Amino acid sequence: AEEDAADKVLDRIEGILDDPEFSDKWDAAEGADVVDDDNLPWPVLEDLQAIAVGRVSLPKGHYLLSATGVTPDSVENYTVSWIIDGGLQWKAYQDYLNGTVQTVNRSIDGFYSYKFMGLDPTDGRPIFPITATTEEEFGEKFSSMTNEERYMSQMVYSGERTPFLSGGISNTFTWNRFSMSLFLSYSIGSKIRLLRLYSSINSSNLTMAPDPMENVRSEIKRRWKNPGDETKTSIPGILSNNAFKETVSYNTEWWRSRSYNAAIGRKDVADHIWQMYDYSDIRVVSGDYLKISSLSVRYNIPENILKKVGIRSAYVGFSGTNLYTFCSKKLNGQDPTQSGSSSTITQSVRPTYSLTLNVSF
């Protein structure tokens, strides 16, 4: 399929170059004393550029092809030069997780996540397709896979990062001396990640237990603690120091070894299982929400009362922002406008309140 896509683009380029309109305008340009946009085949060239500039998926990567026509404004002996730029762009697993890779039949803003298969009943570590198989079972096939095939064997499509519909609704109500303004904002159609649980884990850590000065999300209290908990929770347990070190070591995880990656021109599918968990499909939730963004209530004090104290006009008011958000319960307090890729604990958007007294003499 990848080779067919490349052949189609090349056939289209060849067809444009063989187009009689292209040839006629090119001949006219060669016979002209002054070269300008009127006698160069730019309309056809723009069509060519629209076809050529883009990504052609090849078996060993992604090739970028661009075509540019260059000519001086007015010269006696003009020269038209073509600049063909190409380069292999190897897509890493981060591009699929972040949604910066365009794949067939998927949204241009879609992203992928690792397939979460549950928790290990012995110690509560997360399980994924690559960790559920042994080197003897999957090693040979894994070696023969392209980078994209590897990623797709471990990931699933999660949805779109941006909503297909978003906006706000402004409302104003008045009754006698009271007035109220209400602004609602909404978003429909996006998916977001929950904030990361293991952002500080790396191979230099001696333990996966949180640092005494480190903030952690409250959901860690619902983690796996004893065999059988894997049926009640999806939050991994805290491993012993030795077991944890093995999960972040290149020497113990066969699929992370150099012989299966850099040595044969392939990229890693992940850093470790804790990073895979933070970017797994179990940590993806709906980003739909309806938010009471602001509310203000105002009361104009009657003039007959104000005249008695020498005041020309006055009103009192109350206002608030970020008052309430209707969203998925799976967010666990996380605001749906916050990114789940943050490496730090992020406080949700807090409500604010204010009272106002305005007096004019």
Give residue-wise pLDDT tens across range 110-140: 999 999 999 999 999 999 999 999 999 999 9
Rounded distance between C-alpha atoms, residue 157 and residue 120, angstroms: 24
Model confidence at 48: pLDDT above 90: no
Rounded distance between C-alpha atoms, residue 304 and residue 300, angstroms: 12
Phi then psi for residue 233, to 5 deg, are -145, 160
Rounded distance between C-alpha atoms, residue 195 and residue 332, angstroms: 10
- pTM over the 0.85 mark: no
Model confidence at 51: pLDDT above 60: no
Model confidence at 165: pLDDT above 60: yes
* CB atoms closer than 10 angstroms to residue 343: 10
Burial of 162 (0-12, 13-18, 19+ CB in 10 A): middle
Q: Is 330 helix (H, G, I), strand (E, B) or coil?
A: helix
User: Which has the minimum average pLDDT: 78-82, 150-154, 164-168, 211-215?
Assistant: 78-82
Rounded distance between C-alpha atoms, residue 270 and residue 115, angstroms: 12
Q: Is 285 helix (H, G, I), strand (E, B) or coil?
A: strand
Model confidence at 92: pLDDT above 70: yes
- For the stretch 303-314, pLDDT in tens is 888 888 888 899
Residues whose CB falls within 8 Å of the CB of residue 277, separated by 6 or more in sequence, listed in order: 114, 116, 126, 197, 198, 236, 283
Q: Note the pLDDT of residue 342.
A: 57
Model confidence at 68: pLDDT above 80: no
Model confidence at 293: pLDDT above 70: yes
115-136 CB burial, b ≥16 within 10 A, e <16: bbeebbeeebbbbbebbeeeee
What value does the mean pLDDT take over residues 334-346?
70
Is the separation of the CB atoms in 184 and 169 below 8 Å? yes
pLDDT confidence band for 224 (50 / 70 / 90) = very high
Q: Note the pLDDT of residue 26.
A: 53
What value does the mean pLDDT take over residues 28-37?
47
The pLDDT > 70 percentage for the chain reads 70
Phi then psi for residue 355, to 5 deg, are -115, 140
